Amino acid sequence: MSTAPRWSRRASFAWVAGCYAAAFAVACVTLLFIPEDLGSFWAIAIADVAATLVVFAFSRGLKCSSMYDAYWSVAPIVIVLYWVFQPEQGVHPIRAGAVLFLVVWWGVRLTYNWARSWPGLHHTDWRYVIMREKAPSLWFFADLFGIHLFPTVEVLAALSGAWVALTQGTRPLSWIDGVALIVTAGAITIETVADQQLVAFAKVKRPGEIIKTGLWRYSRHPNYFGELTFWWGLYLFGLAADPSYVWTIVGPIMMTGMFLGVSIPWMDRRSCERRPEYAEHMKQVSALIPWFPKRT
């Protein structure tokens, strides 16, 4: 349920594009006033927060917190492009090129997946609706910190491995780069296949039916598995570039905590409420990591 008027998809996408253009402009202006000695990571962190506040302002004005949803996949593309032109050490060009390609591939694909299914500004993610209904007096702060600022900080932390690979790491290519490439590219592929299988299933499913085919036969959330693995792959690229940046592991750990502690439990709980057989399905199929289903 949303208090926003019904919008056409064309008008909705126009507002999102305008919002993100304004956020990008504010981020660029912010970067002009940041001292160079602060470093490229913290410079982009400040600009990213400034851009997020612009998106938040649009979200409040249009009464649709889902204005932020595509920012998750759009902002990383802009961030890595900025880092590519801000090398602080003699980084390896092949590693940097691989990281740039993978992040852009991931971001474009995920943004497309969002765009093809987003109804418009009259639609708000069901999780946001629950948050607002549970604590209406605290909704402003939940919206600002929980829906907008926290994901921005989380994604930036998870991109720290990419930052090392693009601006800091001077080590030559190694077997770790090979593993990172396989993990990251494989993660994007898994997420792509899982999303496509879900879209195809949604067109033919019966009410209350559970998807049990393809990757979904081996994991209840293979798309989440692909998303989470992508961030660990970026961490591996940073590890290959310079293992001294051990703090970058905070990013994928935060992502893991979010998926295991919030995203998966929320989705499973909602599915149990809407699909009578889902509780039994949970006993048979792995929550995240694809594995052979249990026999009951």
Per-residue pLDDT reduced to its tens digit, 40-92 = 999 999 999 999 999 999 999 999 999 999 999 999 999 999 999 886 667 89
What pLDDT was estimated at residue 249? 97
Domain that holds residue 124: 9-284
* Cα 185 to Cα 258: distance, rounded to the nearest angstrom: 22
What pLDDT was estimated at residue 296? 64
Specify the range with the lowest mean pLDDT, choosing from 2-16, 158-172, 210-224, 277-291: 2-16
Per the domain annotation, does 294 fall within a domain?
no
* Cα 70 to Cα 78: distance, rounded to the nearest angstrom: 13
Per the domain annotation, does 291 fall within a domain?
no
Residue 281's Cβ-count burial label (10 Å; 0-12, 13-18, 19+) is: middle
What's the whole-model pTM score? 0.94
Per the domain annotation, does 91 fall within a domain?
yes
CA terminus-to-terminus distance, the chain: 38
Unique residue bearing structure tokens 């003699």: 90
Q: Number of folded domains in the chain?
A: 1
3-state helix, strand, coil in the chain (%, to 5): 75, 0, 25
Per the domain annotation, does 3 fall within a domain?
no
* Cα 148 to Cα 131: distance, rounded to the nearest angstrom: 13
Per the domain annotation, does 290 fall within a domain?
no
